[in-house]
Structure 1
Amino acid sequence: MHVFPAATRLKRRHVLMLAGATTVTACAPHARGAHHASPDMRGVDRRLRQAVTEGEAPGVVCAIGHDGQIVHRAVYGRRAVTPMAEPMTWDTVFDMASLTKPVITAPCVMRLWEQGRFGLDDPVSRYLPQFAAAGKSTITIRHLLTHYSGLPPDLDLTHPWQGRDAAFRLTMNVAPSQPPGSGFIYSDINFITLGFLVEKLSGMTLDAYATRFILTPLGMRQSRFLPPETWLPRTAPTEPDENGHMLRGQVNDPSSRRMGGVAGHAGLFSNADDMCLYAQALLDRRAGRPSAFPLQPNTVMLMTTAQQPEGKSDLRGLGWDISTHYSSVRGDRFPLGSFGHTGFTGTSLWLDPGSDSYVLILTSRLHPAGHGNVVRLRHDVATAAALALTPPQG
């Protein structure tokens, strides 16, 4: 692989056919470190091929970013296996699942915070009065963002509720499982609530607000809630819904689907190009470099450094995971202080500001029948990528 200076504005791809899969390795225009040697990503590719061969996921798209450029792109396997086989492609659109939380909802919330619309330690019920029901009056916005609210993981799906209004009533009336601040419980309800908060304070729907103030400034044209039908041919399907209908372009998460596909915890669809744009813009803004990321550097620092209650060992930023039992995606080599998040459908993004690196893995691991598992894949790819980017000295 060759690195071309930014001035040439070149983007070159080298395509290899390996075990029935396509690997794409590319160099984008290089903003920094143009003379660094190309990292050896053979360990990453071996693990990605293994994942497809052993059925951890039907296919995978992976991007490794470092020092201001995408240093590795890989595409393996299939986008769909039923009703007919379709090859995975770099531009495949994925249901991002819980990556919606840090990528969309948290920055929407923090943009409103920058405008002085609330304080992070304000009670949620100051802005959503109904939220005080069932003993929630002391839960703060910071509790929601860090998953220290004490709320249970999910809304009750045993009853056939439907629509945003029904979800709002359920959310406002839910009872905590434990006192706020006492322990880490990863909860979709936290970010469903934050989605309602964005809508209340902005007067806009969450998807409209996110498109105007997050996605559009970043140039993320292949990212949105409720993808149009024209996107369906390159959208990765997930699994059959309750009626046996294969979900494709409809959000997999049942609560978000019942809410119409727009919710603070799930509903974003995106692809590798857009997520790489996002990741690099986030790293650049955090470091104080020129960036289109629509928040200030100090705000990004709050989102990506430990903000959980004092003395608690599960480390969470305002939206991003730092060190919890969900952090195996960090691998064995990226240090504490890096951050990231995963999505139930098989998506993940981990970022290390110290080395100006990120690892993006996009799969639809639930396709076709909900049985894939990419937990180990995420760990192993992050480890191999970090080894390639910072090889042992001597």
Structure 2
Amino acid sequence: MLLKTEPNSIFNPLLKHLTQTFNKVICSGGAVFVIQNDSVVLEEYIGKQSNKPDARNIQRDTQFHVASVRKSYIGFAVAYAVHTGCIHSIDDLAIIYLPELDENVWKDTTIRHLLTHTHGLSEKEGAVYREYEAGENWTYRQVGVNTLTQIVKRTTGQTISEIVHGQVFTPLGFSESDWYAERNEKLVDVILRSEQDSSWRTSKSTEGDKMNMYVSARELALWGYLHLKEGRVNGEQIIPKEVIQLATSLQSPADLNYDSPQNGFLWFVNNLPTKKSEIGERVPSGSYQILGYTGVTLLVIPEENIVAVRMFNSFGSPEGYDYLEDVRSFGDTVMRCLGKVRS
């Protein structure tokens, strides 16, 4: 993608926000990258890729572990499978595509429920069980995402990684976004709260189904830019706009309690007012966001023609740090930079 670089000082408060969060969380490095009106208006890097004495500086080609931000790539693959007819409808039951699932547990669960975290399922010691009826509430559970990756592979004959590489990474020349089985010098260390943190897991799978995805700040911003432009880049329709529109429009069940977060194809979308939104209150309707437990955030604001990214190599929230409030304030800071104050 060919974008001009036109630094704009009105976005300096985002660099201050990055530094403030850097000092609150347990990390060694961070980055912020903003695209507005088809130009790079802010690109800054701070710190090191690890706490080692000889650590490499955070720089343009540094790749951060994006944690749950990987779900935006999974959502894209599901949208691609729907657009190509491999998945007939997101209102189809998951068990239609994976008949080996336990019907007693999965019988009422649709692909829409999986995409919007409203499936009501959880997992313990390898066994899936139901917490509440599908569509009745919202909870963030990994079992839904794992099932989506299986459905994509079963229906398309391709892994998440193969679809994303074939449709996006290869055509656009992305070389700093991937799922890695082995480490390399451009990958950050993920800084844990303690060496005994049992929540941290990695994988050697390169299929796009596990949390071992690393992306540079600039390529994450360009991924967001591809969505902002509805698949059209440099005058060419790289991705059918219908795929992007599916992924980033409101898909949550119509009768879901509107106090719950709202989702597209795993993206958080800002559509209807909700008390539990993970997007800042100043951010306008039609915006969408994806975030990860490592502090990585990708926010797309079509109304303002903006993509904003922040990256850290932290893991989890130290005592006294409100992760979601900090994420919301990132988006609100973007809007303040534009002089936009929403009542």
Q: Give TM-score scaled by structure 2 length.
A: 0.84
Matched, 1:71 2:15: no
1:283-302 to structure 2, matched below 5 A, reads: 283-285=228-230, 290=235, 293-294=238-239, 296-302=240-246
Matched, 1:114 2:83: yes
Q: Is 1:80–1:88's contact at 8 Å kept on the other side of the alignment?
A: no
How far residue 260 of structure 1 moved from its aligned partner, in angstroms, is 3.6
1:22-61 to structure 2, matched below 5 A, reads: 28-29=3-4, 38-55=8-25, 57-61=27-31
How far residue 237 of structure 1 moved from its aligned partner, in angstroms, is 0.6
How far residue 241 of structure 1 moved from its aligned partner, in angstroms, is 11
The separation in 1 between residues aligned to 2:231 and 2:166, in whole angstroms, is 21
Cα pair distance change 1:325/1:370, threshold 3 Å? same
Matching residue's letter, 2:74: T
The separation in 2 between residues aligned to 1:107 and 1:358, in whole angstroms, is 17
Cα pair distance change 1:95/1:54, threshold 3 Å? closer
Matched, 1:321 2:268: yes
How far residue 192 of structure 1 moved from its aligned partner, in angstroms, is 0.6
The separation in 1 between residues aligned to 2:149 and 2:166, in whole angstroms, is 15
How far residue 263 of structure 1 moved from its aligned partner, in angstroms, is 4.9
Q: 1:162: which partner in 2?
A: none
Higher relative contact order by CA 8 Å / sep ≥ 6: 1 or 2? Answer: 2
How far residue 236 of structure 1 moved from its aligned partner, in angstroms, is 0.9
Q: Is 1:48–1:377's contact at 8 Å kept on the other side of the alignment?
A: no
Question: Percent of pairs identical after alignment?
Answer: 20
Q: 2:120: which partner in 1?
A: 150
The separation in 2 between residues aligned to 1:375 and 1:87, in whole angstroms, is 28
Q: 1:202: which partner in 2?
A: 156
Matching residue's letter, 2:77: C
RMSD: 3.3
The separation in 2 between residues aligned to 1:239 and 1:53, in whole angstroms, is 13
Matched, 1:237 2:189: yes
In structure 1, list runs of 5 or more residues that go unmatched: 1-5, 10-27, 160-169, 247-251
Q: Which of 253, 278, 281 is the aligned partner of 2:223?
A: 278
Matched, 1:183 2:149: no
Larger radius of gyration: 1
In structure 2, list runs of 5 or more residues that go unmatched: none
Matching residue's letter, 1:339: Y
Q: Is 2:159–2:208's contact at 8 Å kept on the other side of the alignment?
A: no
Q: Which of 298, 305, 315 is the aligned partner of 1:366?
A: 315
Matching residue's letter, 2:244: V
| Residues 302-311 or 339-348, more deviating | 302-311
Q: Is 1:151–1:189's contact at 8 Å kept on the other side of the alignment?
A: yes
Q: Give TM-score scaled by structure 1 length.
A: 0.74
Q: 2:179: which partner in 1?
A: 225
Cα pair distance change 1:364/1:374, threshold 3 Å? farther
Matched, 1:135 2:110: no
Matched, 1:344 2:280: no
How far residue 265 of structure 1 moved from its aligned partner, in angstroms, is 5.8
Equivalent pairs counted in the alignment come to 333
How far residue 277 of structure 1 moved from its aligned partner, in angstroms, is 1.6
The separation in 2 between residues aligned to 1:319 and 1:228, in whole angstroms, is 27
